[in-house]
Structure 1
Amino acid sequence: MAQVFEFKLPDLGEGLTEASIVTWLVQVGDVVVVDQPVVEVETAKAMVEVPCPYAGVVTARFGEEGTELPVGAPLLTVAVGTPSETDEGSGNVLVGYGTAAAPARRRRVSRRNDTPTAPPVEPAREAASQPAREAEAQQPAPVAETQPAQTRTGPVPVISPLVRKLAREHGVDLRELSGSGPDGLILRSDVENALRESVQVRAAGATGAQTGAVAGAGVGAGVGTEREPFEAELLAPVPTVPTAPGVGTGGIRVPLRGIRGAVADKLSRSRREIPDATCWVDADATELMHARVAMNAAGGQKISVLALLARICTAALARYPELNSRVDLAAREVVQLDEVHLGFAAQTERGLVVPVVRDAHARDAESLSAEFARLTESARAGRLTPGELTGGTFTLNNYGVFGVDGSTPIINHPEAAMLGVGRITPKPWVHQGELAVRQVVQLSLTFDHRVCDGGTAGGFLRYVADCVEQPAVLLRTL
């Protein structure tokens, strides 16, 4: 006789205590094998797949997509044919890990009347089609009629639970949207565009009292203009009761959860604990850019500017190891680290993340370029694992991609320093005693003043600038 086993949200490690369900990968009635991914969840670190340690038939799922669950909460139940089959469970319930590959295809089996099942959270899941379930859960408003009519099957690819919640709260049917992200991924901007089009259509046809009602909601004559922020027009709740004079009636509340919440906590802790200071210098990067052109002309792996700067950083950290350290408050000690695990700031649709290049000190420019490219692609797709987002010892922040020259970034706790790189742009520069147009970059170093003084920080930054201006300086340490 079959036994029913309950699979709970496992301990995610890295201090994570909760996760949001992004996409169910199995349905009630599906046959699963050991270590098959059954659900995709978003944690404060990354979006990962959770493998199930049991083989059998899924009899119940707990939680809709977008639901936030604590560690230890039930995820699903699996009916296993015989007690002996339970020995096949891997016992490996860590997020993102498993000992067997997922099956190439899955077959659906009907549930027998004598099979024990846990009370399903989602009633009549077998009777309703997926599009119908999505429509019933979200109760789409007329806004869906303004979007391209198309039918999706299977889970709707959405960038984050917050986007799914935004669509649900405003009656947008995600199945009728065409995602502008990679592989049709639905982004926040896609949902916002759908809402904006809906408001414009309704505002154009509104007359009399309807026009007054729309204007009272903050969308009247200003619809379609850029003077009114989109969120203030569409997403701010409409007050239903009078408010006191001078008290704001609108605004948006964005939960600090997931990656945004983790970033907020880390930055707040950094500001509380680390007495940071910043120094900066302008450098002539013309020769560095010429060297990169020459390297790429030779063929092979293309070398990125970020990889060259990373190679310079690791050489500088070998000379000034105080900056590759962390402070042990309990022991009142500065711990200098042997390996350089180089983090780099990456802006994604889901917020700011800092992937980590392991053992950067042991990599050459080609290896660094390849690893930067791989991690950046994973970051944009939301597929970074917790291990790829933790353990950094020094961070390289290329804020020049935003078109700015300088910045004083907050140190990525518990690291001791961060090198900031502005845009590389043509500027007047005195070169060999004459005024010339050169490729100039501003470099800034934010450091923990507990681990070193200004002399050490200045020496580190000056060495980096010298290598940028004369890449041949690196030959002394290669």
Structure 2
Amino acid sequence: MPRVLEFKLPDLGEGLTEAEIVRWLVEVGEVVAIDQPVVEVETAKAMVEVPCPYGGVVTARFGEEGTELPVGAPLLTVAVGAPEGLDLSGASPSSTESLTSDTSASATATESSGGSGNVLVGYGTGAPAARRRRIRPDRLDRTLVRTSVPDAPAASGTAPATAATHAAPAAPVAVGVVNGQGPVPVVSPLVRRLARQHDIDLRRLAGSGPDGLILRADVDGAIRQAEETAAAKTRTARAPAAPTGVSPASAVEAPTAPAAPAAERIPLRGVRGAVADKLSRSRTEIPDATCWVDADATELMAVRAAMNAATGPSAGPKVSVLALLARICTAALARFPELNSTVDTEAREIVRLPGVHLGFAAQTERGLVVPVVRDAHTRNAESIGAEIARLTELARTGKLSPAQLTGGTFTLNNYGVFGVDGSTPIINHPEAAMLGVGRIMPKPWVHQGELAVRQVVQLSLTFDHRVCDGGTAGGFLRYVADCVEQPAVLLRTL
């Protein structure tokens, strides 16, 4: 007989404690294979497809799309070891709720059923998805009810009780006792608890399940009916009475002022909530300061154009302005390592970091994210540009993993793409600095003693004043500006 196992929202790593259901990938009644993705969730870091460690038939899903669940909350239940040909489509959640197992039982069942225990796509066995099958609801209810009813003692001269569980029941399938006042046809403890919470008398309900079994849908309907009745009574009680001596027919209804529109409330959760928490913590903990400088980027733009115009086998892919700025940043951090650090507030220590993991701000439909180029100090402009392009594409499609969004040591923020000249960046906690880059545009500029039109950019550096003083921050920013104005300066450090 099939066993119904409960799959809970797993720990997705990176200290995440909750996730929002974005899209269900399976329906109730579908057959799933071990490690097949069953739901897409959004965490504070990224979108993640969660695979199920069990193979079997989905009997229930918990949570609608848009619902936020904590780690450890039930996601779905799966009937493992269902007989061949058993159709389980249309299974109601209440028909399986009493059969979910505890953690230890689930672990044992996982081993016996071949479940992998893997929870993240990319870390599982990668088994192909099974062909989806659907099954008749009547067979599901009969099968699951029979597995949940204890065997009755065998009477003298009759067949063993274990055989009786395989026969179609002739009497009501299961009963529960309400307040000690008699049995009612209900099998699920959750249904009984739900009824108690809403003061629903189960004895007054007619069950829609097999043999009058009361399902969760029956209790939900009774709850809605009770709420509608209460709301109607409230409206009647609040209706104004007609003035004394005036019949209702002759009473003139006074005009009412239109109600003011309600303010829209948007929950701070997912990526937006994570950004809000990080920025608030940054401004609370870090004593930041900002310095900025205008730089003539004409020569940098000319060098980039020459790089991208090169032909032949050694030409390579196109190089972006962001890639060149990222390479300039890694060279500057090699000269001013104070800005590639973090502060251990408990130990009251500055921690100088050995490598540069360069984050770059990327705006997506889900909000602002900061993918991280690992070991940027070991890469040239071409390699950094290729990695930025790869991570940007993953960000646009919402496929960045939590690991690709954490561990940065310095952030580059090119807000010039939004058509703005300057800003005061907020440090990406727990880093120590962020370089902001405005738009590059033609402006009047004194060049070689004469007024000329040049490509000018504003560079802003926000830094943690605990890790260095203004002299160090100014030296870093001036070096970056010098490399922008005279790219040949960068050749000295290549």
Indicate if the aligned counterparts of 1:62 and 1:76 stay in contact, CA closer than 8 A.
yes
1:143 alignment counterpart: none
Structure 1 residue 362 corresponds to structure 2 residue 378:
yes
1:315: how far off?
A: 0.6
Indicate if the aligned counterparts of 2:54 and 2:110 stay in contact, CA closer than 8 A.
no
1:85: how far off?
A: 5.9
Per-residue deviation, residues 29-57 of structure 1 (Å, max 9, x unmatched): 22222221110011111111111111222
Per-residue deviation, residues 310-359 of structure 1 (Å, max 9, x unmatched): 00001111111110100001111000111111111111222211111111
Secondary structure at the aligned position of 1:411 is classed as coil
Q: Which runs of 5+ in 1 are unaligned?
A: 125-211, 218-237, 240-248
Of 418, 424, 434 in structure 2, the residue corresponding to residue 402 of structure 1 is: 418
Structure 1 residue 273 corresponds to structure 2 residue 285:
yes
Secondary structure at the aligned position of 2:272 is classed as helix
2:307 alignment counterpart: 295
1:132 alignment counterpart: none
1:322 alignment counterpart: 338
1:84: how far off?
A: 7.8
Q: From the superposition, tell whether residues 340 and 96 of structure 1 become closer, same or farther in structure 2 (CA, over 3 Å).
A: farther
Distance in 1 (alpha carbons) for counterparts of 2:134 and 2:111: 18
Distance in 2 (alpha carbons) for counterparts of 1:363 and 1:78: 47
2:124 alignment counterpart: 99
Distance in 2 (alpha carbons) for counterparts of 1:354 and 1:323: 18
Secondary structure at the aligned position of 1:266 is classed as helix
1:2: how far off?
A: 2.2
1:136 alignment counterpart: none
Letter in 1 for 2:8: K
Stretch deviating more after TM superposition (339-348 or 110-119):
110-119
Of 108, 129, 135 in structure 1, the residue corresponding to residue 133 of structure 2 is: 108
Give % identity.
79
1:17: how far off?
A: 1.3
1:35-434, aligned counterparts within 5 Å? 35-81=35-81, 86=112, 88-93=114-119, 95-101=120-126, 103=128, 106-110=131-135, 112=140, 113-115=142-144, 239=260, 250-298=262-310, 299-434=315-450
1:196 alignment counterpart: none
Distance in 1 (alpha carbons) for counterparts of 2:487 and 2:433: 23
Distance in 2 (alpha carbons) for counterparts of 1:47 and 1:395: 22
1:444: how far off?
A: 0.7
Letter in 2 for 1:331: A
Secondary structure at the aligned position of 2:327 is classed as helix
Indicate if the aligned counterparts of 1:6 and 1:77 stay in contact, CA closer than 8 A.
yes
Indicate if the aligned counterparts of 1:51 and 1:97 stay in contact, CA closer than 8 A.
no
Letter in 1 for 2:126: A
Q: Which runs of 5+ in 2 are unaligned?
A: 83-108, 149-186, 192-206, 209-254
Letter in 1 for 2:275: V
Aligned residues: 358
Distance in 2 (alpha carbons) for counterparts of 1:423 and 1:77: 53
Letter in 1 for 2:472: T
Indicate if the aligned counterparts of 1:36 and 1:100 stay in contact, CA closer than 8 A.
no
Per-residue deviation, residues 202-260 of structure 1 (Å, max 9, x unmatched): xxxxxxxxxx99xx76xxxxxxxxxxxxxxxxxxxx55xxxxxxxxx642211111111
1:4 alignment counterpart: 4
Q: TM-score, normalised by structure 2?
A: 0.68
Stretch deviating more after TM superposition (362-371 or 330-339):
362-371
Q: From the superposition, tell whether residues 312 and 65 of structure 1 become closer, same or farther in structure 2 (CA, over 3 Å).
A: same
Q: From the superposition, tell whether residues 268 and 399 of structure 1 become closer, same or farther in structure 2 (CA, over 3 Å).
A: same
1:87: how far off?
A: 5.5
Secondary structure at the aligned position of 1:310 is classed as helix
1:449: how far off?
A: 0.2
Indicate if the aligned counterparts of 1:37 and 1:102 stay in contact, CA closer than 8 A.
no
1:279: how far off?
A: 0.6
Per-residue deviation, residues 129-177 of structure 1 (Å, max 9, x unmatched): xxxxxxxxxxxxxxxxxxxxxxxxxxxxxxxxxxxxxxxxxxxxxxxxx
Secondary structure at the aligned position of 1:114 is classed as helix
Per-residue deviation, residues 265-292 of structure 1 (Å, max 9, x unmatched): 1111111100000111111111111111
Distance in 1 (alpha carbons) for counterparts of 2:264 and 2:345: 38
Q: From the superposition, tell whether residues 86 and 56 of structure 1 become closer, same or farther in structure 2 (CA, over 3 Å).
A: farther
Distance in 1 (alpha carbons) for counterparts of 2:424 and 2:110: 60
1:77: how far off?
A: 1.1
Q: From the superposition, tell whether residues 27 and 464 of structure 1 become closer, same or farther in structure 2 (CA, over 3 Å).
A: same
1:86: how far off?
A: 3.4
1:5: how far off?
A: 1.4
What RMSD in Å do the two structures reach over aligned CA positions?
2.4
Q: Which entry has the higher C-alpha Rg, 1 or 2?
A: 2
2:226 alignment counterpart: none
1:389: how far off?
A: 1.2
Letter in 2 for 1:287: E
Structure 1 residue 22 corresponds to structure 2 residue 22:
yes
Indicate if the aligned counterparts of 1:325 and 1:416 stay in contact, CA closer than 8 A.
yes
Indicate if the aligned counterparts of 1:54 and 1:86 stay in contact, CA closer than 8 A.
no
1:14: how far off?
A: 2.0
Per-residue deviation, residues 95-141 of structure 1 (Å, max 9, x unmatched): 444323363663213164324699799x99xxxxxxxxxxxxxxxxx
Secondary structure at the aligned position of 1:461 is classed as helix
Indicate if the aligned counterparts of 1:48 and 1:383 stay in contact, CA closer than 8 A.
yes
1:80: how far off?
A: 1.7
Indicate if the aligned counterparts of 1:344 and 1:396 stay in contact, CA closer than 8 A.
yes
